[in-house]
A and B are shown apart, each in its own frame.
Chain A
Amino acid sequence: MKKALFLALAMTATTSMAAPFVYPAAWTAEQNTANKRGGEFRNSTISDFKTINPFTSAESPSLPTQMSDGTGLFTQDPRTNEFIPDMADGPAVVSNNNKRFVVKIRPGMKFSDGQAITADDWITTWKIHTDDKVGSNTYDNFFLNDKPIVIKKINDMTLQFDFPAQSSKALVLMSYTPWPDHIFGKAYKAGGAEAIKKMWGVGTNPSEIVSPGAWTMESYKAGERAVLKANKFFGEWNKDSKGNALPYLDKYSYRITGDVNAALAAYLAGQIDTFAPRNADDLAQIKKAIDAGNLKAYLKANVSPQAQSSWIVFNWNKSADTAKQTLFRDVRFRRAMSHIANRDAMIKLALGGLGTETYFSTYPIFKSQLDAGQKAGAPQYKYDLAQATKLLAQIGYKKKNADGYLVDAKGKVLEFNLATNSGNTTREQLGQIFKDEAKKVGVKVNFTPIDFNTLVGQLTAKGENRPFDAILLGLNGGDNVWSFGQNVVPCGTNLHSYNNPTDGKCLTSQEQLMTKLYYQGDAELNTAKRLAIGGTLMKTEGELQAVIYLVGNSFHVTFNERVGGEFPANLMDAYYGTRSNPLTFIK
């Protein structure tokens, strides 16, 4: 009894002395000086939420991700891109050649049901994510090159992470959200993966949902609205710079609109607080509503590039058509194709003048990596039809036939098929512009939009004779720590889509170098050195020109003036977003 009392007293003492995580004042352009509290931020999403289960969720936005706002051992500061301790009580203690990280957990943190957050929650969460029968979307985040990251509980408030190799992404990988062991651990012990998969569907009573983050479930109406309410315990360990509890808001809701136009209509009518404008049309409509006095809103176009790319890739594995295989493997041909891509016209015509030209796999938003690439002398084969003609002549395409198409010595026309996914109007326009420009130099491009699934099947096919000539598609996703794709750059990976033979081997020395540089950069902890390695990788990638990068969309920001607490304008971008939700308030 005495012991229990002492323990209780000790715990009370640590809770009251525990330092909270303080959101820097610089993270908001509009300080909530009057400590205005309450109200609801009304967001929207296109399709119905599928689940509240953090282990099976695979959508974006998702309810578990939104609920876990403000969690993770470390969080990235948008001012510096550095990781600062969040649920961790301080920086990690690093040993064993940067492969072992010991982290103390911030004391005094609680789940939305009032239970303390301890090391067990991280351990259970890791175990469930890595059970391959659960099918978690973040399974890969707990492995480095197929070798597992091992997590150990030292005591209730200390965790030890052992990485199989040095990794620049260690802090990213360690910053996963801990879900309650007292709920999931119990279910997992009793019924394994099957029990976990059945938990927390959208039909689950919101009162059963327990969250470690800023929000928890209040209500969900199928296909209509999801309402999250503030986790009242979050404010005990999350404060603003004046010491006020966060979040300020009572609620954060999503209206499910089913269609982007419906979302725009709802935004123009003042029924939702924010909208992601896609193009010049959207921007014009919002501006018109603001000018007419029907909508009081903040509107800024071209805030940053989007974290996405669009590209054309040529297939190097065409054993059934060796002439084409030889052509696609010729670097001069691929450089000529990059010279044909009229990126300026693509931006003007397909993106309504709002976009960025791209020449590398690194998204234009990751500026420091791009700068390092340019410093390393990464080449850009810009729009230049004369240069394209010259390169094609070097390969042997000097004459044109009666139709104006280039032919080789045997009279064979220079032509290939280019496919993209039908229904994506932007990509269809990009392909059409490419085709028209190619015609000018005498290259015949048979451009056909086809079914998305068929296209992905072709792109990710393996073997010596893969079923496509060229594909126009795009990718998104990744982080700004090491912005090269782990399934894209190394030979033999899923999306190494220009060369994917059965044995997965590299064909060129550049591929070998890029694979080596990928792993080298991934393991480099020093930011400047890592950027320099990335720069060399970009130079190699640019010279090889295996993938011809085209253009990227711009990110635009608009939100209703009734909400405050957004980032200062210089911190807003497509990667960090527009605001930190806990600092958002209703004016």
Chain B
Amino acid sequence: MFPFLIRRFFQSIPTLLLASVLIFFVISLAPGDFLTPARLNPGISEQQLANLSATFGLDKPAYVQYFYWMKNLLHGDFGLSFQYTQPVLPVIWPRIVNSVYLVLLNLVFFYAIAIPIGVYGAVRQNSFGDKAVNVVLYFLLGFPSFFLFLIVIYLILNVRNATGWDIPLGGMTSGNYDQLSSSGQFWDVLKHLLIPALVLAVTDAASLTRVIRGLMLEVMRSDYIRTARAKGVSERSAIWKHTFRNAILPIVAGIGGLLPAAISGAGFVEVVYAYPGITPMLLTAITAQDLYLIAGFTVISTILLIIGNALSDILLAVVDPRIKVG
């Protein structure tokens, strides 16, 4: 195990270097820079634009900017965000934490919906229930989640108007959050998270449902399941203990990808729901060409992806006795 991790660590260095070069120069290739909107301001003189360019280091060529950034990165300094004029890490950290809450709750719902439906689809293959669920899930899968969410917000507004219930319309906390007790605060956040997490989980569930259904069907037809059934194990045990455990191996292999996904936020739903996650911040940063904020966040995602892949390999060795790391 230890040699495996050491080897992985050294392999990741060139990967990260190459990724950092790509990240930095792809962002730099975009037309204009952080000061472009300022150039359209009738009140900002050329002298001032030159001052700002020098202040942000934008007057230097891209490769020089890259080497400065890299040098700082080696000291754990991700640079300054242009917009916030603050170090990148403390700026993005609270937003990442918010996104993690939403993504984790979404994952709980996601697996809670996809696994039972996938297993049901395999066990009751081509039944009316199987087909009906598939139709609904496929329909939702083809819907852009942010658009579906706009419809959900419209429905919530109507329900609010009709009933007077205080269903959250967006955000992560209510206006009186600071005055609530700890349990009240917990419930307040959960209340705000429930709807976006659920809507996201339902729209995304179709893909995993199909995968589980397919894998289950494949395993159910194998000899050892037939043997197990012949030995007289209960149907429940045959499905969950023998079939499901073997069927989810490919899914376990993909779990490592959840690590960067967890900090990457829930996408446009965060924007539509006015949720203070990382997505709205990143979108603003991209529009504003806040170079170091985007680059810093992308580097962190890349590191997490590398760690996640290593974790996947270890997990796979744990659940599948045929595989060994080392």
Contact across chains for A258 and B31 when beta carbons are under 8 A apart: no
Q: Knowing A139-B48, A139-B51, A258-B280 are in contact, say whether A452-B274 is a contact too (CB < 8 A).
A: no
Q: Knowing A42-B175, A146-B45, A222-B95 are in contact, say whether A259-B271 is a contact too (CB < 8 A).
A: yes
Contact across chains for B95 and A495 when beta carbons are under 8 A apart: no
Contact across chains for A265 and B169 when beta carbons are under 8 A apart: yes
Contacts of B175 in A (CB 8 A): 40, 42, 225, 253, 255, 271
Per the bound structure, the CA–CA distance linking A42 and B174 in Å amounts to: 12
Contact across chains for B31 and A256 when beta carbons are under 8 A apart: no
Per the bound structure, the CA–CA distance linking A105 and B253 in Å amounts to: 71
Per the bound structure, the CA–CA distance linking A48 and B172 in Å amounts to: 14
Contacts of B36 in A (CB 8 A): 452-453, 456-457
Q: Which A residues between 447 and 486 are near B, CB-CB below 8 angstroms?
A: 451-454, 456-457, 459-460, 473, 475, 477-478, 485-486
Contact across chains for A475 and B42 when beta carbons are under 8 A apart: yes
Partner of A294, one of B83, B98, B161: B161
Q: Chain A 40-60, CB within 8 Å of chain B: the 1/0 string?
A: 101000011011010010100
Contacts of A135 in B (CB 8 A): 51-52, 55-56
Contact across chains for A201 and B171 when beta carbons are under 8 A apart: no
> Any chain A CB within 8 A of the CB of B308?
no
Q: Chain B 30-71, CB within 8 Å of chain A: the 1/0 string?
A: 111100111111111111110110111000000000000000
Contact across chains for A47 and B280 when beta carbons are under 8 A apart: yes
Q: Which of B84-92, B122-130, B196-204, B228-236 contacts its partner? A: B84-92
Contact across chains for B43 and A487 when beta carbons are under 8 A apart: yes
> Any chain A CB within 8 A of the CB of B312?
no
Contact across chains for A456 and B39 when beta carbons are under 8 A apart: yes
Contact across chains for A47 and B42 when beta carbons are under 8 A apart: no
Per the bound structure, the CA–CA distance linking A53 and B33 in Å amounts to: 22
- Among A262, A475, A485, the one with the most B-chain Cβ atoms within 10 Å of its Cβ is A262
> Any chain A CB within 8 A of the CB of B131?
no
Contacts of B11 in A (CB 8 A): none
Q: Knowing A202-B86, A456-B37 are in contact, say whether A140-B276 is a contact too (CB < 8 A).
A: no
Per the bound structure, the CA–CA distance linking A271 and B168 in Å amounts to: 10
Task: Tell me the count of chain B residues lying within 8 A, CB to CB, of chain A.
Answer: 57
Contact across chains for A223 and B169 when beta carbons are under 8 A apart: no
Per the bound structure, the CA–CA distance linking A253 and B176 in Å amounts to: 12
Write 26 A-B pairs (CB below 8 A) sorted by A numbering: A40-B175, A51-B85, A51-B86, A132-B48, A132-B51, A140-B45, A141-B43, A198-B85, A201-B86, A201-B90, A203-B86, A222-B95, A223-B98, A253-B175, A257-B170, A265-B153, A453-B32, A453-B33, A453-B289, A454-B31, A456-B37, A456-B39, A456-B40, A457-B36, A477-B42, A487-B44
Q: Which residues of A contact B (CB under 8 A)?
A: 40, 42, 47-48, 50-51, 53, 56, 58, 132-135, 137, 139-141, 143, 146, 197-198, 201-203, 219, 221-225, 253, 255-259, 261-263, 265-266, 268-269, 271, 289, 292, 294, 451-454, 456-457, 459-460, 473, 475, 477-478, 485-488, 493-495
Q: Which residues of B contact A (CB under 8 A)?
A: 30-33, 36-49, 51-52, 54-56, 83-86, 90-91, 94-95, 98, 150, 153, 157, 160-161, 169-173, 175, 177-178, 270-277, 280-281, 284, 289
Q: Would you list the 3 A-B pairs with minimal beta carbon distance, nearest first?
A: A453-B32, A223-B276, A485-B42
